[in-house]
Amino acid sequence: ILNVEQSPQSLHVQEGDSTNFTCSFPSSNFYALHWYRWETAKSPEALFVMTLNGDEKKKGRISATLNTKEGYSYLYIKGSQPEDSATYLCAFIRGGSNYKLTFGKGTLLTVNP
Amino acid sequence: DGGITQSPKYLFRKEGQNVTLSCEQNLNHDAMYWYRQDPGQGLRLIYYSQIVNDFQKGDIAEGYSVSREKKESFPLTVTSAQKNPTAFYLCASSTRQGTTEAFFGQGTRLTVV
């Protein structure tokens, strides 16, 4: 079983704070890394799909970076808003795995107004 | 509208009975996945399929079975051999290459009494 680790497990921040969390994955045989946001009572929705070492992607106040050589990705949220409260999941695909999408346990973010 | 549909949303079964969860997509995706979520466990992969008539075991396949007779459909059967079947089940689909986002259904909450 692949080890995809996310930290921290949960995070409470105040509205307006910037925050970041980490996804760690095996550094060998990298293929792709996905980030998803999962709000309560909804389905997970994709934020980013990253495939190249050094990739940086941005969507509004949320951005992500990727380091495949050391096996980690960071997700940043600038100026957190209460509507950013959700569980943030990363998922890893290893090369040669027949595109098996393996998720971490997620980081639960709560933004207090 | 294109999407992925799981049914039913809630399902109750007696212990010892097999039960089949439905997952249908009209996104023309080749790949489909079944995940299980338990509190504190994140999304764990049960089975996945990259093409019709072919599927692979995920990390927790014991006690489950699947079929992929049509591109649009990937039903999951929870058999009586599954020791702890009560959980939230999510289905997802994506393009086969894994470099585009996965789309998720709304989930089925199965309770076995």
Give the tens place of pLDDT for each residue, A37-54: 999 989 999 999 999 999
Per-residue model confidence (pLDDT) at position A97: 84
In the predicted model, is pLDDT for residue B90 greater than 70? yes
Q: Which residues contact A93 (CB under 8 A, 6 or more apart)?
A: A31, A32, A33, A34, A99, A100, A101, A102, B98
What CA–CA distances, in Å, run from A88 to A36, A107, B9, B36? Answer: 6, 5, 23, 17
- C-alpha span between A22 and B13 (Å, rounded): 39
Residue A89: phi and psi, rounded to 5, are -115, 140
Instruction: Give the position of tokens 């999962």.
Output: A38
Least confident of A13-27, B54-68, B93-107: B93-107
Mutate to test the interface with B, among A100, A102, A107, A108 (most CBs of B within 10 A): A100
CB contact under 8 A, A103 and B90: no
Residue A79 CA to residue A17 CA, distance in Å, equals 5
Residue A101 forms contact with B (CB below 8 Å): yes
Q: Is the pLDDT of residue A1 over 70?
A: no
Q: What is the pLDDT of residues B3-52, one digit of tens each?
A: 999 999 999 999 999 999 999 999 999 999 999 999 888 899 999 999 99
Is A26 an 8 Å CB contact of chain B?
A: no
Least confident of A84-93, A95-104, B24-33, B84-93: A95-104
